[in-house]
Structure 1
Amino acid sequence: MARPRLALAILVILVLLYFAGNYLLTPTIRSMRAEGLIPGSESEWRVLGSLLKTIPTAVGLALMVIWAVLADKIGRRGLILGLALAMAGSLALVSTARNYDQLLAYFTIFGIGLVGVSPIVYAFVADVMPSHRRGAGYAAYYAASVLGMILGLAIGALVSWRLAYLSIGIAIALAALPLYAASRGIEIGHAERIEVGRFSFRKVLQSLRCRTLAIMLAQQILWTIPWGMLALWSVDYIMTRWGLPKTLASLVLIVATASIAVGHVVGGLLSDRLVRKGNVLGRVKISILGICIGYAAMVAMLAYPYPYGSTSASSLLPPMLLAAAGMMFTTFAYPNISSVISDVVKPEVRSTVFSFYNFINSGGWAIGPLIYGALVDALMSWGLDERTALLYSAVGIVSLWIGCIAAWIAVGKTYPRDRIYAREGAELERCQDAVTNN
């Protein structure tokens, strides 16, 4: 018997754990270097260390669509289990590594699982949660990913790196197996309560021609570039612009990051509430409101006239609250992006379509830091001082969110029709299949 709520709860734990495993490298990479596992001179080892992230992600992205298609064809439960166990085993193996080649091989297996499972999990949430409750489902997923980052950073800092990887690897396996058992009976399209058609690439192409989906995928580029920049360069920005030590700059980022989890949950629950009241555009309205407020707060934080070098609480509190508000309100949109996409895509091709979404999402996060660095370099070459160049570059990149607001306004015009079409199309196809079979 299917137990959707239990399955979702265990899924959230699994997501938290494998994201914790993903972020373990940040606090442990110097320990690996100290043990001689990452070779090279002082100027070279960081390149080799970076490849422990870059190569696994690249290989994972290359294989991602294969796992997504398989999930749509044969079922999502089994693929989630298989990829989760691959992550669990690879992290356990990392704890036994004796040289760089072994590290890279084990991390690559983990990257294949981590990147490959993401679109399948997006689709699985839609199998578990009906349309009017998907905001909460995706909010739980995104909140778990943020909390997983915090957990990974904490565990990596508190225990030996080998024990950290072994512990998280075992924990992932212990979560994956109960999820497989608890999700028995949750088939593709389970929450729709309709008979689902068969996977075909024709249906994938039909979905990609949907206007709402096309807009959402396009806006994802503008949406993720600022996030990629903020994730990598926030601490450096605060240290340089405000003159703060690394510990206080990191504290600002930690507080802001924690607020992201709150934003996911609030944004998802508010939009679900509006949808249940019959407001079809509830997700659009909440997303626009959140991005508008969050963008204004983020720009205010970036341009805040901070008393350079001051470490007093009275100086630190206002911009810290602005940073937290900027990230919290902006992330109102994140669970609604996934919810809207799931509403306009047929259940039997959701994993495959979400693989395209995940590819764009990963690309935006990856190129954001590069664009920021290039802008800073260009502005400084034109004669601007470093602090001013950082400000103009950061505000310019964050302003890409204005394009996201425009995209959500456009979605408000297409989503009601496409949402109905997706449901009517699935029902019509079921009827046509029944007639053909008879």
Structure 2
Amino acid sequence: MDRYTVVSADCHAGADLLDYRPYLERKHHEAFDAWAAGYVNPYEDLLADTADRNWNSERRLRELEADGIVAEVVFPNTIPPFFPKASLMAQPPTAAEYELRWAGLQAHNRWLADFCAAAPGRRAGVAQILLNDVDAAVAEIRRAREAGLTGGILLPGVPPGSPVPDLYSEAYDPIWAVCAELGLPVNHHGGSASPPLGDEPAARAVFMVETTWFSHRALWHLVFGGAFRRHPGLKLVLTEQGSGWIPGVLDMLDYYHGRLVSAVTKASTAESKFGAGLAEAMGKGPSAVWRDNCFVGASFMRPHEVPLRDRIGLDKIMWGSDYPHDEGTTPYSREGLRIAYAGLPKEEVAAMVGGNAARVYGFDLPYLDSLAAVHGPAVEEIAEPLKEVPAGATSPAFAPGGSVRVW
């Protein structure tokens, strides 16, 4: 092994706004034309000269290869039809919004299938669904997989006050069942479950503090809700939410699980009612569920998180570059890998930067190895500690601070 096969488990793409039109059902074309005519894009990066990195397949391949990356898991980024902002962080639609929002996400899924087909074997596209109509979501999951989307589904966030059931609800069992049947991961991306906040400086700061916590909630909702007992083949991937939090949260979940299950045997206590039926509904405890069913898309893993890799699970960690976002590591992904993984055994590095993602998302690893032989970073290069952060680096992977080591 002279070079690492790097698979980014966290990249983003989407069509330019008007290019979604051919992917919409014809009955929605008139409504789309009216919506698009008055839409003002709120995102500077989607108006810049670099915006085409979201949809320009050839440019994207060139830039990823130059960055040492040979394959990617593709989450959404641009504005799908009938959405006011990016769908990744959108609130669940109301009943009045549902029909057009659902048509817009289906259009994105059709576009994404074509985008992935333009680079066979190198893109695992993540299909988008809504939770308002479970039967429609199940049908779309099957259709998207038949169309070639192998990245699983993007699980929408369910913030407090949403018009749909909480994620622990058995109402979603048909979604978990079809994903387990087809071997598709259920992905929950950072930022996708935060409740709406204002634009005041304090609101923006509160969002930064709370957004990953709201994203983490999917883990304990599905664990305590028994989704993994009823569907033991289900895979959950938590992406771009950090990874250092996982051991402590698992300890906390194990504590509450043990405490509540034990309380049931003490009927005279006020707490006994909280644990009633929990053991039977859940099956395994939280740490066992994590071990058997869960993974982390640890985008630009930070140095202070790396010593926790054994507690997180070496077979669970999947590095990501977050291309094409400004906070991503491109074009300094090699340096990002060095600042995190220099000095580690090469077998461990190989698993975290590509091998785990290839297994979870069904990439053909021997094929990717052949591409990495040309484009992948050299093992000896990543083994060299980073002595100086590149001047143009904007990723938090390089952020200074007491918990971040820079050699």
Interval of TM-score (by shorter of Structure 1 and Structure 2)? under 0.3
- Normalised to the residue count of structure 1, the TM-score between the two structures is 0.24
Pair member with larger Rg: 1
Higher relative CO (CA 8 A, sep ≥ 6), structure 1 or 2? 1
**More strand by percentage:** 2
